Amino acid sequence: MRDMNEIVGSHDLLLVTLDTLRYDVAAELAASGRTPVLAGLLPGGRWERRHTPGSFTYAAHAAMLAGFLPTPAEPGPHPRLFAAAFPGSETTAEGTWRFAAADLPTGLADAGYHTVCVGGVGFFNKLTPLGSALPSLFAESHWEPGFGVTDPRSLEHQIDRIEQVVARQPADRRLFLLLNVSALHQPNWFHLDGATRDHGDSRASHAAALRYVDRHLERLFAAVRRPTFVIICSDHGTAYGEDGHVGHRIGHEVVWTVPYGEFVLA
């Protein structure tokens, strides 16, 4: 396990959640060379297979922002990178960075980080009390319709904003940035060449959306400062007809199994 006590305070932190990305689709595209940017950064060019802490965006992000990242899909216990200090935790190890707060952004703010959220899906839109709950954990948060699920260029617009955010950060202050990428989430039919609204969303358009994301991640990683510790993962998967299921917030394998990766941009 990586010693996060050496990372926190010396590195910026970037958490990229590829909202709704399925593990099987991510693994297939990586293995076939169709997501070259990700394959070039993930350890061994492969995603790690993990289980999400929640079957939909709000639940998964609430858990992750409390330090409960997706768990390796094999028997544990599995030490966590971040953990709120509380008695009896069986997944807090020597390399775990502990914080005395209810959530990770507050803990990192207490450690001197500026915390920023660039949202994507509706749980980050700040248009309702519920849509404000996750962004309110951060000192600075951003959302606009162009970042959302209906814009075919959503990630490009999000990266535009991130470039502005990073450019104005003082050189002597560390940054924790959450980017919730909405491009994988339904609707995604418009990422598939030749598709129309009548075709609807499918596993193929989901894969096409991941290829779109991969094409623009290089600009994201060029924008962040060095050194940066990056966690990139899905918050949950989604079903496209498996066993009659469509969507998520259900207890199906394609929802609970997610891709995960971490690396340092040095």
Q: What is the pLDDT of residue 31?
A: 97
* Helix, strand, coil percent content, the chain, rounded in steps of 5: 35, 20, 40
Measured CA to CA, the distance from residue 66 to residue 82 in angstroms comes to 8
For 246, other C-beta atoms within 10 Å of its C-beta total 13
- For 20-43, write each residue's pLDDT tens digit: 999 999 999 999 999 999 999 999
| Rounded alpha-carbon distances, angstroms, from residue 196 to 8, 187, 189 | 46, 11, 7
| DSSP bridge pairs for 72 | 50
pLDDT at residue 166 greater than cutoff 90: yes
Mean pLDDT taken over the chain: 96
pLDDT at residue 254 greater than cutoff 90: yes
Over residues 1-18, the mean pLDDT reads: 97
- For 100-159, write each residue's pLDDT tens digit: 999 999 999 999 999 999 999 999 999 999 999 999 999 999 999 999 999 999 999 999
- For 55-111, write each residue's pLDDT tens digit: 999 999 999 999 999 999 999 889 999 999 888 888 999 999 999 999 999 999 999
Q: What is the pLDDT of residue 76?
A: 85
Q: What is the pLDDT of residue 23?
A: 98
pTM over 0.85: yes
